[in-house]
Amino acid sequence: MLALVGAGLLCGCAYLAPPLQARGDRVDSEQLKQLVPGVSSQSDATALLGSPTAKGAFDPNTWIYVSEQTRPVVGGTLTVKNQHVVELRFDNQGVLRHVTALGPNDALPVSVVSRTTPAPGTEASITQQLFGNIGRFNPAGALGGSSVSAPAGGGLSSGSQLP
């Protein structure tokens, strides 16, 4: 009986999971068939598919359309469940030359570097941060007074000269 109750609770958790969220506009294969390499132009692609998600970093004639389904997970991050990428390549005259549909198998692995970038000036200890500004402020200067004091004799000292 306890096993049945536990199984029922686990199945119920699936109903509590947040729904998939669609991001981007998925390019339909029927829409892609309407774009003919050598004939279609950038304006045809924009009219049919809309604005691209991104353009190539080094080639503005490469248009990339990305759509994905994500689900939120703990910590506010998103996990990607499905992703579809379509790449359109145009020549310098704006005529479509190549259409590529990319899938999950075309993705390249990316390694994340775990180093931290040092920030100069942040090597101060807690004590230095707490007491570091003591004596740096001149209360007489803050009140409009002069921060230069006259020598003890009231005049010029014996070794000083006027400019």
Q: Are 60 and 68 in contact (CB under 8 A)?
A: no
Domain boundaries, the chain: 18-106
Q: Are 71 and 21 in contact (CB under 8 A)?
A: yes
pLDDT of 163 strictly over 80: no
What share of the chain has pLDDT > 90, as a percent?
A: 29
Look at residue 140 in the predicted model and tell me its pLDDT.
63
Higher-confidence residue of 59 and 127: namely: 59
Look at residue 160 in the predicted model and tell me its pLDDT.
47
Look at residue 65 in the predicted model and tell me its pLDDT.
93
Average pLDDT, integer, range 65-78:
82
pTM: 0.56
Look at residue 106 in the predicted model and tell me its pLDDT.
84
Residue 124: φ, ψ to 5°: -70, 140
Q: Are 42 and 92 in contact (CB under 8 A)?
A: no
Three-state DSSP at 103 gives coil
pLDDT of 13 strictly over 60: no
Average pLDDT, integer, range 106-114:
83
- C-alpha distance from residue 95 to each of 35, 80, 85, 127 (Å): 10, 33, 20, 65
Higher-confidence residue of 34 and 121: namely: 34
Look at residue 4 in the predicted model and tell me its pLDDT.
65
Mean of per-residue pLDDT scores for the chain: 78
Distance CA(48)–CA(46), nearest Å, equals: 5
Q: Are 89 and 97 in contact (CB under 8 A)?
A: yes
Distant-in-sequence, close-in-space partners of 23: CB < 8 Å, separation ≥ 6: 67, 68, 69, 70
